[in-house]
Chains A and B, each alone.
Chain A
Amino acid sequence: MKTDSRFKTLIKSTNDVNFTLFGEIVTVPKGTTLAAAILSNFGEASRITETGALRTAFCMMGVCFDCLVEVDGNPNIQSCMVLVHDQMVVKRQIGLRSIGISKDD
């Protein structure tokens, strides 16, 4: 079930980025960190741990690794350390990441 954002946006921007976040198209100001974009749009967990516990961003400065999400197919990305860009596709990090498909360079 969707939980409303726990934050309100006070500074509006005219220079926006559109991308897909947890299956929805969202619009946030250019230069926003992905974690901030998540928190301003969703109140619920952005990550589910290997034991099934719910987590969101916690420290916002790259220390805690609780804000991990999957970005454009790459798992375990610290969302507080990347900036949003157009056409980005972001999914929740559910459980442990997988190896992926083996291909030579």
Chain B
Amino acid sequence: MTDFDIIIIGAGPAGMSAALTAANGGLDVLLLDEQPHAGGQIYRNVKQNHSKQSWFGKSYSSGINLVDALNHIKITKCFGATVWRVEANKRVLWSQNGESKVSTAVHIVLANGAQERPFPFPGWTLPGVMTIGSAQILMKSSGIFPKDSVLVGSGPLLYLVATQMIEANCPPKALLETQTLRMMINSLIHLPKALLNMKSLIMGFMFIYKIKSAGVPRYKSVSRLEAQSSVNGSIKFLFSHKGIRKSLTTKLLLIHQGVIPSTEISRSVGVDHSWNTSQLAFQPIIDKWGKTNIDGLYIAGDCGGINGSEAAVLYGKIVATKILYETGKINFNLYKKQSFSISFSLFFTNSIRLFLDTLFAVPQETLSPSDETIVCRCEEKTVGEIKLGLNEGITGVRQLKASIRSGMGQCQGRMCDAIVRGIMLNNISQNDINILAPKARSPIKPITLGELSKMKLD
């Protein structure tokens, strides 16, 4: 006997929608999330902010429906619950208030979302440099807004957050975009298909229009980024623009270079992963139902590959629909009908993806930064040190980690794995390239020896 029919990890758009679909179909759901409230990062604190502010836009407010619907008799919700181990036998170990618990289920759905892609350049570790996503989290969860900030990087979130800051009357001083003309040209071939998701395209143009109307200067194709600390804790940000070295001084440099799937759990439990060549990230190998190579383990939303929150809601639904069918809760006809309708919506939602991936491609200097750049923020290892290791004949991520200690710190490689891969691709002969997704080990978030020692296992 298991404790639940399904354990869903992550209460963002994918997890919430999977939970609701499963619960409505009659399954007992345990929904775990590390944050204090439902919503994930995209709908973070949407309930708490409800009816307070319109700064964050309609798309954000719409998340409240999902959050409200979680008050469902079949859904057990646990917040502040950090999952630190998932086993292929469908046992989940999680920690809440310093105490670890074991929960079992027939099915597990990983819906633990994405993280921002590490965006390394000299000085990216200085106080006063944060991610754009982190600023948005602060805006949503604490109502604090950046003062005189400069936004650097690329991706839809850059424009969304700039717009939200303008709406809240805290406009950024400038937008510095790493997007090049070449990327824009390359994306054109994917534009016709993207037109099928006209809603998102229009939303994007609205953001850019608002930024323009607010008079926020935009610098395109910036490169050779470097942050230095300046007087009174401010940041002097240097960059090349149209062949000229320029600088801006700001209190807060906000950086963003898209998002990548969070794969610590899927990698640690033994799900197979592959390299997504257009998104430049590892992602779990799943079928259209979110099924993995591990029986009963499913993946929904951005942790299975980046498609955004709207798609994540649909992926959550389709995974739960599949599980409802497999557990006999819905018949074949209903299953076919529902899954067809979800797949249909997904087709339109995802039609924009390749366009966005190409339009906001990751610049080469982010993939393989200059030698003095810190790669591993925890162990304070630089690109130069990684290259030294490679010169000593290392050809694999595991050997590199053992030799240099990059990825051995508290974040367990979350901030450096992607960078290390880029450096390796740039510095090892093509014959020697065989870079597998690094193995992840539990606990995937640190827990104390005391907490571990007090666990009671059957």
Given a CB threshold of 8 Å, the question of whether A touches B is answered with yes
Contacts from A to B (Cβ < 8 Å):
3-13, 28-29, 31-33, 36-37, 39-40, 43-45, 49-51, 53-66, 68, 76, 81, 83
B215 beta carbon closer than 8 Å to chain A: no
Taking CB atoms, residues of chain A closer than 8 Å to B128 are 6, 43, 56
- Contact flags (1/0) for B176-217 with A, using CB distance below 8 Å? 000000000000000000000000000000000000000000
Chain A residue at smallest Cβ distance from B130 = A58
B168 beta carbon closer than 8 Å to chain A: yes
Among A12, A28, A49, A63, max chain B CB count under 10 A is at A63
* B39 vs chain A, min Cβ distance (A): 12
Taking CB atoms, residues of chain A closer than 8 Å to B145 are 7-10
Q: Are A43 and B127 in contact (CB under 8 A)?
A: yes
Residue in contact with A60 in the complex, picked from B138, B252, B380, B411, CB distance below 8 Å: B138
* A30 vs chain B, min Cβ distance (A): 11
Known: A54-B126, A58-B129. A8 touches B377 (CB 8 A): no
Given contacts A8-B170, A9-B143, A33-B141, 16 further A-B contacts (CB under 8 A): A3-B232, A3-B233, A6-B147, A6-B251, A10-B143, A11-B53, A33-B142, A43-B233, A43-B251, A50-B380, A54-B126, A58-B125, A59-B115, A63-B415, A64-B414, A64-B415
25 contacts between A and B (CB under 8 A): A4-B232, A4-B233, A6-B146, A9-B142, A12-B143, A13-B143, A29-B142, A36-B141, A36-B144, A39-B144, A51-B380, A53-B125, A54-B126, A54-B127, A57-B130, A58-B134, A59-B130, A60-B130, A60-B131, A61-B134, A62-B34, A63-B115, A63-B262, A65-B410, A81-B82
B133 beta carbon closer than 8 Å to chain A: yes
B36 beta carbon closer than 8 Å to chain A: yes
Residue in contact with B137 in the complex, picked from A12, A60, A64, A68, CB distance below 8 Å: A60
B57 beta carbon closer than 8 Å to chain A: no
Q: By the criterion of a CB under 8 Å from any partner CB, how many residues of chain B are at the interface?
A: 44
B310 beta carbon closer than 8 Å to chain A: no
B288 beta carbon closer than 8 Å to chain A: no
* A21 vs chain B, min Cβ distance (A): 14
B409 beta carbon closer than 8 Å to chain A: yes
* B137 vs chain A, min Cβ distance (A): 4
Taking CB atoms, residues of chain A closer than 8 Å to B138 are 7, 36, 39, 60
B365 beta carbon closer than 8 Å to chain A: no
Chain B residue at smallest Cβ distance from A46 = B127
Q: Are A68 and B144 in contact (CB under 8 A)?
A: no
Within 8 A of A (CB), among B411-427: 411, 414-415
B41 beta carbon closer than 8 Å to chain A: yes
* B140 vs chain A, min Cβ distance (A): 10
Chain B residue at smallest Cβ distance from A81 = B34
Q: Are A59 and B127 in contact (CB under 8 A)?
A: no
Q: Are A56 and B130 in contact (CB under 8 A)?
A: yes
Known: A44-B127, A49-B380, A63-B115. A32 touches B134 (CB 8 A): no
B71 beta carbon closer than 8 Å to chain A: no
B52 beta carbon closer than 8 Å to chain A: yes
Q: Are B144 and A61 in contact (CB under 8 A)?
A: no
Q: Bound complex: CA of A58 vs CA of B410, how far in Å?
A: 14
* A36 vs chain B, min Cβ distance (A): 4
Q: Bound complex: CA of A28 vs CA of B411, how far in Å?
A: 28
Known: A43-B233, A54-B127, A58-B131. A7 touches B144 (CB 8 A): yes
List 5 tightest A-B contacts by C-beta distance, closest first.
Answer: A11-B143, A3-B233, A60-B134, A36-B142, A65-B410
Q: Are B147 and A8 in contact (CB under 8 A)?
A: yes
* B244 vs chain A, min Cβ distance (A): 28
Q: Bound complex: CA of A76 vs CA of B380, how far in Å?
A: 17
Q: Are A40 and B144 in contact (CB under 8 A)?
A: yes
